[in-house]
Structure 1
């Protein structure tokens, strides 16, 4: 007896949802910009407005877009996270109508015992590490010096062309996920006041010894292993919005 098994086709709204999400991540609908109307999308997908509305409602529930009465749907972010330090700075700036730029400073390999890795999580201290340092600039003003650390198996083949200077794909969260295949499920952070050293003072245009903030964040996989760590030196302040579902970052 032969059993005829058929692969179940995804519902039309699921297909629309996945296709729109792919377009979001490809930058076709930019962060902060308005989505096409329900009617326009329905025509593009050759489905009803009810079907498109259901797909868009899923994107709203997932946090990618928001619905505003009278003005349609607006793109919020391309990188979702439940943890504050995993909020995409790039998306926050684009959403606010500001111009973020990333200047790559260096890609270094650090061996166990090398300087510059003293404050890494314990499970990263005895393995070779790749450190990527970038200066984040907003509207031509230096805002953050970011050092991203991950094991050589993850970032061992990192090249300058992997780190765009402009556009939504400069987001480190997307680079780590899309280019290098890193996955994480939780994170922790510390925010500490520090004094600007000579290099940071030069990059930020402040006097050495000026108080700044160090925001350190570690991301973990489902087994609690550190996937990557970031140290973010920044001027200004870190603000949080508290809600029923936790907290989210607000960037100045």
Structure 2
């Protein structure tokens, strides 16, 4: 059974344009096609094209110059250095990361995860839960969920910490390739077990970052929820103003 989540059209267009920048089709300093040209070339609506261009500007691939249009800035080193929770969750080496593996097993799929994977409410998925600690203090709780089709032939069911990241493990064992991530940030109250692990007092919310990791076709390979105690977190970002 295939578990697919279709990337938004604007994201697919942004990825296509980014690949063209990376392969030199659009060289640094060159003006990219106009919005009208992109609408006609890709058969997408103007709002979709505008959103894709804004995403690439935000990440440093493009910039607007008055009277000239949108030009290529080149490969943005800043984009690679941004603090992205999803990337950290996917690349964390369980055997070396500060923290501990606290739970491994099959659980009823959470509602938000079920909607991403297209699973029925009563389905079960494999969960690996890792508590990240900073000098012995709980910092974040990462619960990673894997469709049954991704588990076969792997060591994901092992209660021992993996040597390497789950991404590396899946790419090696399942011969898949991670392509892009979607992150959804919200706030909620933690469950009893979550609150105890994070040492969060009753009534204190947590920030939830839902990380959907997909291959190039949009199939979800792994879904992780990163929980951060709201009273110990400060989110910060910096970006250029056009």
Query: Structure 2-normalised TM-score?
Result: 0.52
Aligned CA RMSD, in angstroms, stands at: 3.6
Kindly indicate whether residue 81 of structure 2 is the aligned counterpart of residue 84 of structure 1.
Answer: no
1:230 to 1:194, Cα distance in 2 relative to 1, 3 A: same
**Displacement, 1:214?**
0.7
Alignment of 1:130-145 (within 5 A): 130-145=126-141
**Displacement, 1:161?**
6.0
Residue of 168, 190, 198 corresponding to 2:184:
190
Kindly indicate whether residue 98 of structure 2 is the aligned counterpart of residue 105 of structure 1.
Answer: no
Measure, in 2, the Cα distance between the counterparts of 1:196 and 1:85: 18
Alignment of 1:203-218 (within 5 A): 203-218=197-212
**Displacement, 1:86?**
3.2
Alignment of 1:234-249 (within 5 A): 234-235=228-229, 236-237=232-233, 239-243=235-239
Contact 2:141 2:194 in 1 (8 A): yes
1:134 to 1:243, Cα distance in 2 relative to 1, 3 A: same
Residue of 149, 152, 166 corresponding to 2:148:
152
1:117 to 1:181, Cα distance in 2 relative to 1, 3 A: farther
**Displacement, 1:204?**
1.8
Measure, in 2, the Cα distance between the counterparts of 1:82 and 1:182: 25
**Displacement, 1:210?**
1.1
Measure, in 2, the Cα distance between the counterparts of 1:229 and 1:91: 13
- SS of residue matched to 2:203: coil
Alignment of 1:213-224 (within 5 A): 213-224=207-218
1:162 to 1:81, Cα distance in 2 relative to 1, 3 A: farther
- SS of residue matched to 2:201: coil
Contact 2:90 2:167 in 1 (8 A): no
Query: Structure 1-normalised TM-score?
Result: 0.50
Contact 1:124 1:226 in 2 (8 A): no
Work out which structure has the larger RCO, using CA pairs closer than 8 Å and 6 or more positions apart in sequence: 2
Residue of 120, 125, 139 corresponding to 1:129:
125
**Displacement, 1:188?**
0.9
1:106 to 1:187, Cα distance in 2 relative to 1, 3 A: same
Contact 1:145 1:232 in 2 (8 A): yes
